Amino acid sequence: MNKKVISLIFGMTALLASASPVIAAGGGNLESAGINVRDVAAIQRGAKWFVNYCFSCHAASYMRYNRLAEDLGLDEDLVRKNLVFADVKMGETMDIAMRPGDAEAWLGKTPPDLSLISRSRGNDWLFTYMKTFYQDESGGWNNLVLPNASMPHVMWQLQGIQKPAASTHGEEHGAEQATDQLILAVPGVQTVEEYERTVRDLVTFLDYLSEPAKLKRKNLGIWVMLFLLLFTGVAYALKVEYWRDVH
């Protein structure tokens, strides 16, 4: 292959890579979630965390149970046993039983549907959000990336209880990594690394939830790239063949 062809291939690849969307999330110091959306095992674990810890308040009403089962390669019975508590049909969407008004009266705010949250907030924001709940001076829950959030830290038993680090005072240290401002005052049942994996799994699930077709799209993308590479080779061989007699 000559240099032009090679640089063409490189150019194409770079163009495609740079075209992936970058979500601008608020707040400067977010931790990188580092998820792999093709890790189906992580999505499965995340789905379980979601149903056990989030689903009582947050719906995921764009997702149907049977679609979840199919995408994650799970037996419908398994999904029914592990993920579906109420007596719902597999074709139903993942709505919650709680009426919006009840949640508002109880929490002061209606918990938003999380179907598209990974797109609107970005995965790094979600990752940091779930890691930076802490107990403030009032003894109530607070959060570094969503100050005064009306959501309690629902996974505190897993993570433990964080408190502001003594030497720092919240916003004044904006340039630091968000989690450096907190110390683990009471350990949870998971180690720091285990909890990090829990949150990463959860964010992987939320990312999948926001675009279920991504699993298929990404797999398809590889074949498209391979085809383009192969086709470039064929086209080049043809060109050589045609021009052989001209030279």
Residue 112 sits in the site that holds ligand HEC (CB under 6 A) = yes
Residue 61 sits in the site that holds ligand HEC (CB under 6 A) = no
Q: Give the per-residue SS3 of the chain.
A: CCHHHHHHHHHHHHHHHHCCCCCCCCCCCCCCCCCCCCCHHHHHHHHHHHHHHCCCCCCEEEEEHHHHHHHCCCCHHHHHHHHCCCCCCCCCEECCCCCHHHHHHHHCCCCCCCCCHHHHHCHHHHHHHHHCEEECCCCCEEECCCCCCCCCCCCHHHHEEEEECCCCCHHHHCCCCHHHHEEEEEECCCCHHHHHHHHHHHHHHHHHHHCCCHHHHHHHHHHHHHHHHHHHHHHHHHHHHHHHCCC
Least distance between ligand HEC and beta carbon 61 (Å): 15
Instruction: Map the footprint of ligand HEC across residues 131-190, applying CB under 6 A.
Output: 146, 149-152, 154-155
Q: Which of 38, 89, 99, 109 binds ligand HEC (CB under 6 A)?
A: 109
Q: Which stretch binds ligand HEC (CB under 6 A): 20-28, 106-114, 134-142, 221-229?
A: 106-114
The residue number with the shortest CB distance to ligand HEC is 54
Q: Which of 30, 94, 124, 129 binds ligand HEC (CB under 6 A)?
A: 129
Residue 45 sits in the site that holds ligand HEC (CB under 6 A) = no
Per-residue binding string, ligand HEC, 4-43, x by CB under 6 A, is ----------------------------------------
Cβ proximity to ligand HEC: between 9 and 154 the closer is: 154
List of residues contacting ligand HEC (CB under 6 A): 53-54, 56-58, 107, 109, 111-112, 114, 117, 121, 126, 129, 146, 149-152, 154-155, 202
